[in-house]
Structure formats: C-alpha cells, structure tokens
Structure 1
C-alpha cells in the first residue's frame, strides 16, 4: 500500500519571537533517542507511524517539540502516537523530509509553526493539530482490511516454516535455568508494564516465578527491584547493566542463524546461547518457557490487539497468534491488571476507616481489666496536658 501523507491544513503564522528553542537530539530510532532526550530538547526522529509506546516515551521526556522526518501516520493503520503527543501539548511537525536528519546533535534549533531552523538552514513540514490528526486517522482506517489479508497469508506461511517448533518444540536451546514445574513471568516493556508489575508484587513474592526479560523488559525487572533469571531478545534495547547482571542470555537469531546481537553479548563477556527462530522475541520467550515445562506463564507488556501488533510493525502477526494457541491455558495475560484493580477509595473514606479502627480498639481495651486501667491512665495523662495548656494561656 502506498503511504498517504497526513491531511495538511493551513498553519497559523508564527513570528520568530514566538519560536520554540532548544538543543537538537537527533536519532532515526525513537527508542534510542529517548534514552538521552531531556526536558526542553527538540526531538528529531525519522519514525513512520509513531506508535503508542514510542509516543508515551517521548512524552515522559518532556521535549519542547518533536520533528518527524517521516509521516507520523502513513495510512497503513490508525496509530494513536500523534494523538498522544497532541494531548500532552507537545508540538509535532510532521513529514519534514530526511534532510532534517542532517542537523547535528546539540545544535540550537528554533521551531516556529511548521518551520524548523538550525545553523542557517530552514526546513518545512506540517504542524499537526486535532483536525489533521483526525483526518489522517480516518483515512488510515481503510488500511486495516489489507492488514487482515496479510495476516491470513502470513499465518499459513509461518505454520509451514515453523511447524516443528510450534508442534514439538524442536530447535529450542538447552539452558541451565530451572523452569520445569515452575511459574514464569515474562516481561516486555510494552503497554502499562510498570503499573502491572507493581500489581504483581505479591504474586512474585509468594510464587517466586522465573523472571524472563524480553530485551528492555530485563531493565524493567531491574528497575522494579528484582533480578532477571533469563534475558531473551535480539539485544537491541537492553542495557549493558542488565546483560551483565548474571542472568542467563538467549540471543534471538534469524532462521538462517544470523544473530546481530551476539557480537554485543560476546563483547561484554556474557554467557549466552543462540536461538534461531522466526517471530518476535516475546514469542520465543513463551515457546521456550512452554517447551521447558513451565506450569504457568504470566505475560506483562506483551502485544495482544490488532493495533498493538501493527504498532510493532508486524504486518503478519501470525507468530504471536500461533504462539498463544500453542501455549494455550498456561498463559495468563497481566495486561491491564493495574487498571482493573485501581483504587477508588477517597481520602475521606480512608480517614473514616482509621477512625472506626481506633474506636474499635478503644472498645476492645475497655472490655478488659488491663485495658480499663490503660484507658484510665491515658485519660488522666490527657487531663494533665489539658491543664498545663490552660494554665499557659491563662498566665498563671
């Protein structure tokens, strides 16, 4: 499908005095950029179809503006990243062109409306607003039918190529981490992963599951206060600290054996095995846990809906669909646990509850001889304090 440019409306005029200014942070990969992006910086990316996770990561960094060399909504599917940036009040200048990626890191950048200026050069794109984003999203909804057709074709192709792995687990590497008969928690740095991990603290404390981090999910486990037992992925978004934390490492490779992430792991001197398989790294983690005998697989931050698959750029999505069928009843998706059990108790209700508890405690104390003596002593002490205060203010 030929990408469609977002609808462009006439932008309001901006004077140079009203321009947003800040140092440029330039990177074609948004998830790499957000690691060094700071509040007030100008983010310059080359990201077709800004997805939800990337948009939320950008918002968390609080940049002054986001400059996108590509189309933030290409028309392939109705992604919600641009809307997230708009709702956060962060200006998004869209489809500026790849020439903007030549701006040097740290250069002073001025953004006035749809115009970007840096070191004497000027670039022009489209300043996104509610009208343009709504129009682009509506146009993109038509692209979903093509994605469904691609899904059906990709599903059949994946079943043929990976039938041995899907049906019999043939090809799984040997690892030393003991999984047989245990619960497994697989963490992907996806939607609501922080909140859901916080809600699962009691489960982790009581069940002591095997902790598997998928790429950056290993850092999420460490940030939550635990240490991953296993790290699975192509090693493109996990930190060096996580790779050297002592966890066993499974490098996800292409089916032909190529493993771009292996060189990095070897450079760090970390012990690892290579697992050639088609599909996503989270699929590989689930298949590995199932094949090694896990009796329960809890997934945090994984992808389950059509838009989430498309956010990941997986036009077929068959691998994850079939992996979930293979894992079957073992899989419990923790997605949205934090939203389901979010507390709705008000401060007033909490104070009332505390007061009721104190009253119940006093009644229980009064029902016993020891308690009656304690209450009488407390009341006598209170009388002494009240008398002292009264004398202080009376001047005696």
Structure 2
C-alpha cells in the first residue's frame, strides 16, 4: 500500500458520490472572477459569487476535492486553531468576539448548504475534545468557562472520566468536552456537493487546469498550460498546494502531513459498543489523534502529524498502533485504507486572509480547522468582492510571520520545534 499522501487511495475516494469530470481549460475566456482551487474554500467562494450574479470561472489543478478538502478527518469545529487569546492580543476583545461568531456561522453554513442543496455527505452533529493528562482536564474546564462567560457559547458539556467511558469503550481519557454544535461529515462528498451546486449556479469549473502564472494587471490574467482567464477579480484558494505560484504567501504557511486509516467494517453492533454515539473525537495533545465512525461502521482514525513533509515509516502500521493505544480491543481488525494529505498551518495557527492587489484575494492558513472555516472564508471573500469588505477585513489585521530559515532551513527548524512539543505531550 502506498504511503505517498498525494497518491494513496482513501476511503473517501472509494466511497465518493458520482461526480462529473469537468473539462480542462482551453483557450482564452473572460470572467468577472477567477477562483483558483477546487476545495471547500474555492467552491464556497465560487458558489456565493455565482448566486450574487457574477460570472465565475474556477480552476483546479487536479480534480475537485483532491487536496485537504477531500482527505481530511472531516471534523467540523468552531473557533480557531490559534485559540481566542492570540486573536484578542492582535485585534482586541471585541473583534475577537466577532471572529468567534463568524466561526460559528461557518458551522451553520454547513447545515444550511447540506439542506439547501441536498448534499449527501453523512453529516452528523456532536464533537468531543478529550484529555489524557490532568493538566489537559484543567484546560478543557478553562475552555468551557471562556466559551460561556466571554463568548456566550452554551453548547459545551464537561464530562468526567466515567462519563467519557460511557460514550467510548476506552480507558485512555480522563475527561471530555462535548460540543453539540460541532460535528463531522464525509469531506469529499461535501466538497463534491458544493461543486455541483456551484456548477448549477453557473460556475464554469475546469479540472486538470494547473495555474502557472498570475498577472496582476486590470483585468488580471490567470494562465494555465492550455488557456488563460481574464478576470476583474481573482481569489486564490490553494492552501497547502500553493507550491511556487506566490512565493510571498508560501513562506507564511507550512504544509503539514497528516495520516488516516479506515478499518474494515466493524458491523453496527460492535461499532455501537466502541462508540455509543455517532460523534467525532479529538484529543488535545499538540501532536493529536482524532477519530470518528463512517456510514458503514468503520473506524476512521487519524493523527501522526509529519512536520518534515516526509513519511519514513509505514503509514498504515504506525497509525494503526496509535489506534490500538486508544482501542486495544481492535487488535483483530484489518486496516483496509490508509492515506494522507497536507494541511496548511501558519506560525500563529490563526487564518491568513488578505489581498495581493486590490482585486486579488487569497485565503489560507486554516491550520486544521478547514471543514467549517473554509466555507465561511469563501463567503467573506465573496462579500468583499461585492463591496461589503468589513468582515473580510477583520482578518487582514492579523499579523503573520514567515517561517524561519527560508526554503532550505525552515523545515528542519520546524521539525526540531515539533520534537519539543512531542516530548511535552508525554509529560
């Protein structure tokens, strides 16, 4: 089984809904907006703009949902990977509260779109963060107090060890924070559903149309090997797969590899014993594990983050070992799929939205919170293009630093830092 995160066959791909192949861009076309990237952020941006009456062309270098949007753990979580305190430090308490509310709107947007466009993506509500160590239990209690007292969010329930064990057949966790507002879904089918809605709204989608150059003239010119798009506005939604298209943006994000396995189907009875409710679960180690069930009663278990961009060990075997630390009773169960992909993180773990020119926008740096945050980010970009930039501009005030070391040394520097965090997880 291949361990290359870009080629491994995922459970999501094997269980994807039927979807059309969109044609490669050929020749010169014109549009009001050219969106680059066919993940959730790009499809969301294109859909919102088309429904506002804009002529939109979406370019995807591979297939719709080929990147993180079609491979991730599928957990829809409110808030930001940075935590609220970093946002408060940069933009103040009032604006941090507005950002928090926008993240919750991202969750509601998923609910609304799944219903409105009849997207078959196995959406379920309920998500839980779990603690392994006493200090993590305290962190969950603090998170609950902050959410309630500062942000008025009252959908969190703190669970002691016995309550967690009543939901999960494991002794690993000392406490949990259950969020009825979070959830999980089949990310590839959700992305394909957004693309279908965008296409129905008039978006011209072109797959296998890798962008090779962007001219920032008026209008902008977006070039591929086989065609060009002239557009009044451009929105870049490439994230971890930005590559060398915009070096100044690439230096502010780091592609981080994460890996997932899917077991054989456990059968409904065994799955019910393992997980009494159909929720998503994530521990709060810095190098974290996450898991949930699939529609056909498989356990989807992920983690084992790689900050080196390499996968020197067998993905299926290593991730399975982590799974057995949580559920040793699954020792007899086969892993049928193992795959990976890259998420884009920023130094602060806060999202990085902005403009490269007055008419060229970008969305990146979702740092593992992409299922919900990418969708609402697309809506904010569409609002800004339509002349309502206040909410988008909230995020442009966040300061972002380049990863240290430049192209040659930034990866080794990050690996050393992550070794420290891995050691801290053991304390």
Higher RCO (CA-CA < 8 Å; seq separation 6+): 2
Bigger fraction of residues in strand: 2
Q: Highest CA radius of gyration, 1 or 2?
A: 1
